[in-house]
């Protein structure tokens, strides 16, 4: 009993360390990619907050935990558009729609592609290609110069000419690169501890699978930095850019991370060979016998699609589709997210956690 208690305490400490490292990685990457010039450039700031999610998901896939990777992708997306969005809009209601709202309706087709993929129980390379194509179409919307918020401040009287500022600009560039490398390192270590902690917790409790604990424990830890997605010096009333950051994180999850995980799993299982893909080895090959070459066609046949856990399809994909529908009237200005709607989003997130736990409880 004492050994079990020590094991549980060690798991809690491991998850706490993972949460701290992932929080630091998210804040550091967001500041490195978007700078500290205010709430502008929500796309780059979203990439910074998304990097720890992506690194943790890739760590889970490489550690033979594809269910954890998929669950983290969907759980963080639902958390962004329900709990995080609800808290932010409750504390600071959106007074003006940003120009980047044109990308908000893309959540619905991205969620529908994931919902369609769930019917087969896998995310195949066909589904991955469709998601990547949707992401490519979305890039043109976010990169439209007419839709960008201004990111260049007005010149101030007495500012030195641009040629005299070049050394400081180069220094700032190196510092941002160093911050980004540090953030990736923190995310890698934090992701490793997070996946290890979730797997250990599932093994010790033997009640929920690791994917469910990922939704309940790991997802809130990763999305915690997005409770304040804009820098501290940004105007508090500018909630529109914060919503754009949350939407961008969701679209990065669905249109880049999920298809990348699918292609990675295809490659990983193809390189594992027939025995690693689940086919038993029926013949023994001597150590001196030459190894026959494996053709690309054989590797393609040996590859396996990324598993799509049934609870994540039944609950996460459906909830995300509903949230995608909600974002359409919000982006058009037909529905304002006031405090009542914000409280409903937070309450809906609590119901979502209960549904995930109920759908995946072990008999």
- State the pLDDT at residue 4: 42
Position with higher pLDDT, 292 vs 295: 295
- 296 — pLDDT class (breaks 50, 70, 90): low
How is domain 2-147+172-277+294-359 classified at the architecture level of CATH? Up-down Bundle (1.20)
Neighbours of 117 (CB within 10 A): 25
For residue 112, pLDDT beyond 50: yes
Instruction: Give the highest mean pLDDT range of 10-14, 124-128, 168-172.
Output: 124-128
pLDDT confidence bin for 99, thresholds 50/70/90: confident
Say if residue 328 is exposed, middle or buried (CB neighbours under 10 Å; 0-12, 13-18, 19+): middle
User: Three-class SS of residue 36?
Assistant: coil
Rounded Cα gap, residues 25 and 234, in angstroms: 20
Which residues are CB-contacts of 206 (< 8 A; sequence separation ≥ 6)? 362
pLDDT score at 276:
42
User: For residue range 16-66, what is the model confidence (pLDDT) as tens digits?
Assistant: 999 999 999 999 998 888 765 444 567 788 899 999 999 999 999 999 999
Taking the C-alpha atoms of residue 333 and residue 106, their distance in angstroms, rounded to an integer, is: 16
* Spatial distance between the Cα atoms of 186 and 195, rounded to a whole number of angstroms: 14
**Dist. CA 231–CA 295, nearest whole Å:** 51
Residue-wise pLDDT tens digits, 323-344: 999 999 998 888 888 889 999 9
Higher pLDDT, 260 or 38: 260
pTM: 0.83
Q: Which residue from 170, 120, 113 is spatially nearest to 137, judged by alpha carbons?
A: 113
* Closest CA relative to residue 222, chosen from 198, 241, 254: 198
Taking the C-alpha atoms of residue 220 and residue 267, their distance in angstroms, rounded to an integer, is 30
Q: Which position has the higher pLDDT, 229 or 156?
A: 229
Checking if the pLDDT of 274 tops 80, the result is no
Domain range summary for the chain, segments of one domain joined by +: 2-147+172-277+294-359
Pick the closest to residue 90 from 343, 334, 350, 326 (CA basis): 343
Report yes or no: 67 and 209 within 8 Å, Cβ to Cβ.
yes
Identify whether the C-beta of residue 203 lies closer than 8 Å to the C-beta of residue 70: no
Percent of the chain with pLDDT over 70: 75
For residues 114 and 70, the answer to whether their CB atoms sit within 8 Å is no
What is the DSSP annotation of 183-249? HHHHHHHHHHHHHHHHHHHHHHH-SS-HHHHIIIIIHHHHHGGGGS-S-TTS-TT-HHHHHHHHHHH
* Size of the chain, expressed as the number of residues it contains: 363
């Amino acid at each position: 009993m004492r050994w079990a208690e020590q094991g549980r305490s060690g798991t809690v400490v491991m998850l706490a360390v993972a949460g701290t490292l992932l929080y630091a990685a998210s804040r550091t990457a967001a500041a490195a990619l978007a700078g500290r010039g205010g709430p502008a450039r929500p796309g780059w700031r979203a990439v910074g907050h998304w990097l720890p999610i992506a690194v943790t998901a890739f760590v889970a896939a490489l550690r033979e935990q594809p269910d954890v990777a998929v669950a983290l992708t969907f759980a963080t997306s639902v958390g962004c558009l329900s709990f995080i969005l609800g808290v932010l809009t409750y504390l600071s209601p959106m007074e003006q729609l940003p120009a980047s709202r044109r990308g908000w309706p893309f959540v619905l087709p991205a969620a529908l592609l994931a919902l369609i993929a769930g019917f087969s129980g896998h995310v195949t390379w066909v589904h991955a290609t469709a998601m990547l194509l949707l992401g490519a179409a979305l890039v043109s919307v976010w990169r439209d110069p007419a839709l960008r918020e201004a990111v260049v401040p007005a010149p101030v009287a007495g500012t030195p000419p641009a040629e005299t500022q070049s050394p400081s600009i180069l220094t700032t560039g190196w510092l941002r690169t160093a911050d980004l490398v540090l953030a990736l390192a923190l995310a890698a270590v934090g992701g490793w501890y997070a996946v290890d902690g979730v797997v250990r917790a599932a093994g010790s409790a033997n009640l929920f699978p690791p994917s469910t604990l990922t939704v309940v424990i790991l997802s809130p830890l990763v999305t915690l930095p997005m409770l304040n997605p804009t820098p501290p010096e940004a105007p508090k009333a500018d909630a529109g850019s914060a919503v754009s950051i949350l939407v961008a994180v969701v679209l990065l999850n669905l249109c880049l991370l999920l298809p990348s995980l699918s292609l990675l799993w295809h490659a990983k299982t193809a390189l594992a060979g027939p025995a690693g893909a689940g086919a038993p080895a029926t013949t023994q090959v001597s150590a001196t016998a030459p190894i026959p070459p494996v053709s690309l066609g054989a590797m393609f046949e040996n590859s396996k699609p990324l598993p799509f856990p049934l609870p994540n399809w039944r609950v996460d994909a459906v909830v995300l589709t509903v949230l995608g529908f909600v974002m359409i009237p919000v982006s058009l200005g037909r529905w304002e997210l006031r405090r009542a709607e914000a409280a409903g989003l937070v309450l809906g997130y609590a119901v979502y956690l209960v549904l995930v736990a109920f759908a995946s409880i072990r008999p």
